[in-house]
Amino acid sequence: MSPPPLVRFAGVQKTYDGQSLVVRSLDLEIQRGEFLSLLGPSGSGKTTTLMMLAGFESPTAGEILLDGAPITRTPPHKRNFGMVFQNYALFPHMTVADNVGYPLTVRKLPKAELAQRVAKALDMVQLGGKGDRYPAQLSGGQQQRVALARALVFQPQLVLMDEPLGALDKQLREHMQLELKELHRQLGITFVYVTHDQGEALTMSDRVAVFNDGEIQQIDAVERLYETPSNRFVAGFVGDSTLLTGTTATSAHDACEMVLPTGERLSGINVNHVPPGTSVVASVRPERITALFTPPEHEGNTIKAAITDVIYFGDHLRLRCAIAGQAQATVKLPLSSGEQPVTGQSVWLHIATPYLRVYA
């Protein structure tokens, strides 16, 4: 029997104008100690969901429960959650130590314990010895660490983060992702993290909830989310995909054969259990396509294409390939293959059945 969730959204809805729902009938369980990312495009409802959990927004309908008790009408300062924003929200006139210690000052902790907790929190984010500086004297990455230390200093049971690394440059952002993941592992606190960056969500999370149009499209462990997307939106939004259109010729419950406009046939996973004669879109990850540079002896699950572009990516070549009657396909070719493909060259693309996911 699985342990009860730390947080549960039960039938939560949110509308700002009384007509269109920003969040539609949300049922979501957040497990104690997990790193959950809410991922989706702008306007998908992920930030509104976080703000309702924080208490800055109130649900129009439904209930939010913490440890089984409703907190829907509990004000933010009584929820005991840490919060980290993209813009850091530091007080410029206060030192780093005073910024970090602010939540403890509000809670009227004794000075000696406050100083001890602040020092520990700054060490945790690798800013020990910088407590007497002011935010303006720190880099963007250091300011973000101060905001994180402030969110952790009062030992909350839940830390909420709204695109906290969005203002950092790519290299620093990637470094901070790994640091956050390690910090989560050490502390065991529940993290709920909002992002529109799918790479960030996959790097850090235990589970990811993919939002679109106010609804969760899929919530899963990162490997399953990437390898087995449950619908077309998730397949297209999480990671790169090559898409092929066609019609189902035969179908079983879990498998089907699709016919491309050229008459070529491919077998794949029948995700939505569609019957024969249905117009479908198939999705395959670029690294799951095998590029063959001579005609194969057996043509099962292989389609002919022509290379239109070869892009060097450091650890692999990315091939852009034209397929008759289809959008361009993307193929990742590892450098270890030793192949040196050129634009205009014919190529045969083989897709193993388990990696071709067919959606209605």
Instruction: Encode pLDDT of 156-213 as tens digits.
Output: 999 999 998 887 888 888 888 988 999 899 989 999 999 999 989 999 999 999 999 9
Q: Do residues 180 and 247 share a domain?
A: no
Which candidate, 249, 237, 160, places its Cα nearest to that of 202?
Answer: 237
* Termini Cα distance of the chain: 35
Say whether both 228 and 247 belong to one domain: no
Domain that holds residue 338: 240-359
Q: What is the CATH number of the domain that holds 307?
A: 2.40.50.140
Split into its structural domains, the chain has a count of 2
Same domain? For 207 and 349 the reply is no
Q: 321 and 296, same structural domain?
A: yes
In a domain, 2, yes or no: no
Q: Specify whether 229 is located in the same domain as 318.
A: no
Q: Which residue has the higher pLDDT, 81 or 300?
A: 81
For residue 41, the model assigns a pLDDT of 93
In this prediction, residue 318 has a pLDDT band, given cuts at 50, 70 and 90, of: very high
* Domain termination site, one of 233, 252, 283: 233
Give the strand pairing for 289-292 and 279-284: unpaired
Query: Is 134 among the domain residues?
Result: yes
* 59-64-70-73 Cα dihedral, nearest 10 degrees: -30
Q: What is the mean pLDDT of residues 72-92?
A: 89
Residues 217 and 308 in one domain: no
pTM of the model: 0.89
Residue 135 within a domain? yes
pLDDT at position 354 is 94
Which of 181, 211, 233 is the C-terminal boundary of a domain? 233
| Per-residue pLDDT, 250 | 85
Residue at 76 is within a domain: yes
Reported as a pLDDT band with limits 50, 70 and 90, residue 220 is very high
Averaged pLDDT for residues 342-350: 94
Tell me the per-residue pLDDT of 186-198, one tens digit each, with 9 for 90 and over. 989 999 999 999 9
pLDDT per position as a tens digit, 30-68 = 999 999 999 999 999 999 999 999 999 999 999 999 999
Q: Is residue 332 part of a domain?
A: yes
User: Do 355 and 267 fall within a single domain?
Assistant: yes
What's the average model confidence in pLDDT over 232-246?
A: 92
Strand boundaries in the chain, DSSP class E? 7-15, 21-30, 35-39, 61-66, 69-70, 81-84, 158-162, 190-195, 207-212, 215-221, 242-251, 255-259, 265-270, 279-284, 289-292, 302-312, 316-322, 329-334, 346-351, 357-359
